[in-house]
Chain A
Amino acid sequence: SGAPREKDPPLVILVDSREICSGAEVVSALKAAHGVKVQVCSLSGSDYIVSNRMAVERKFVSELLNSGNRSKVTQRLQRLQSMFERICVIVEKDRVKSGETTRFFQRTQYYDGVLSALVQAGVRILFSSGQEETAALLKDLALVEQRKAAAIRVPTELEGHRQEMLNFFLSIPNLSYPAALNMCHRFGSVKEVANRLPGK
């Protein structure tokens, strides 16, 4: 049941350009193992976008164990909450560096507090043991969203005037990347959008 039906177009996942470095294996597994169409773009604020309404943040366990990252993590999620209907955090096990024996993490009260606050805020949480598993989870999320008719269906590569229109829409506060993308495809011009907005 997990396999896409034949009439479904390939799954599209938008990936932030910064993930090319920190999540190279996630990106290559999405393409090679899962046949997902990966579009790398500057998402400024989210790691992955798996549908028109869902953003996914990839966080290491170590980032959530330590209160030193508090403001960075909360600011990013607050920003996502203002742009997306659904947010998911994938909590990924830290990689064991060479020369290091398996890391032992003491579960902190702070960590449980973060999880509790995420649950209370309606943020979905998934746990991953590494980059390949994260890729599989991203594909599963995109599949669920596709079943709920929320998949990104418009072309993600734009050129010339359309690309300029996209940049214009992306500068509007609280407008997500897929929302801006859909506006470029559904409307003929910026003027048409301006004249269709309520309360103009």
Chain B
Amino acid sequence: MTTKGNFPVTAGSIVVPYGHVIGNEKWRGSEIAQRLQGKIRLIFEDGLGLVDFHLSNRTCILYISEADLVAGDEFKRRLVRFRNASSLGGIVIVEKTQISDQYFLAVQKLVVLELGMVLLPVTNQREASQLITQLVHEQSKDLNSNPFLRKQCSQLAEPSLFRTVQQIPGVGKTKALLLLQQFGSIHRLCNASVKELELVVGQTLAQQIYSFLCS
């Protein structure tokens, strides 16, 4: 599917009902549309402008076919126009085939590194429909179920504090425990005098710890 002519940029947000995908009218009857139907609820709309599919109120897909890549730079202008006009998160799906492979690196550089958008390669419309289905499922899930996001686990401070104190040259497990029992925190340990340190460890080590922390 080529993108000739001047499509208007739809910059505003589109309301996508929960669990639905809004597809550009031009995709009606395509292989992607046929394969999506039955898996997700696909609604066609006119006037989506540069966008091919809206996955949510925040995310949309711009599809670049093998033919677009071979035809020249029109698709680049389309991406740049979208980026300048829209605040939506744009996912670019690109057909990376034996024929279009030679263009892929330059497209990736433009989309990911220069425009800061997401780029996902597929080899055909069948793969694209499977990918879009997964993207929709992911969007409708709770963020907490995403395995790649940081989990708010309450990490116990004590074991790591113990390890950190052992990084002071000359301090092993036994001395680290004694120092933490006496001073309780790195801050208090750093502000202890040599005399105070001597009460816990020997004279030589006290001097060594003091000079490590304070110089």
Contact = CB atoms under 8 A, between A and B. Distances in A.
Interface of A: 70, 74, 77-78, 81-82, 107, 109, 112-113, 115-121, 123-127, 133, 140-141, 144, 161, 164-165, 167-168, 170-173, 188-191, 194-195, 197, 200
B100 interface: no
B134 A116 contact: yes
A78 B149 contact: yes
Contacts of B31: none
B15 interface: no
Given A78-B151, A113-B134, A140-B113, A167 B167 contact: yes
Contacts of B214: 189-191
Interface stretch (B1-9, B20-28, B65-73, B135-143): B135-143
B186 interface: yes
A112 B135 CA distance: 8
Interface residues of B, number: 45
Given A127-B121, A161-B212, A173-B160, A112 B134 contact: yes
B215 A120 contact: no
A164 B167 contact: yes
A144 B164 contact: no
Nearest to B168: A168
Given A113-B137, A172-B160, 13 more contacts: A81-B150, A112-B134, A113-B138, A116-B131, A116-B134, A117-B138, A117-B146, A120-B139, A167-B167, A173-B160, A190-B190, A190-B212, A194-B191
Nearest to B145: A117
A78 B215 contact: no
B60 interface: no
B118 interface: yes
Interface stretch (B41-49, B79-87, B104-112, B195-203): B104-112
Interface of B: 91, 104-105, 108-109, 112-113, 118-121, 123, 127, 130-131, 133-135, 137-139, 141, 143, 146-151, 155, 160, 163-164, 166-169, 186-187, 190-191, 212-215
A144 B146 CA distance: 28
A125 B71 CA distance: 26
Given A115-B131, A116-B134, A171 B169 contact: no
B148 A118 contact: yes
A189 B215 contact: yes
Contacts of B141: 120
Contacts of B164: 168, 171-172
B94 to A, nearest CB: 10
18 contacts: A70-B147, A74-B148, A78-B150, A81-B148, A81-B149, A82-B150, A116-B131, A117-B147, A119-B91, A119-B118, A121-B148, A125-B118, A126-B108, A140-B109, A171-B167, A188-B215, A189-B214, A191-B213
A197 B120 contact: no
A7 to B, nearest CB: 22
Contacts of B187: 194-195, 197, 200
Contact of A115 (B109, B112, B134, B149): B134
A112 B113 contact: no
A78 B152 CA distance: 10
A167 B112 CA distance: 35
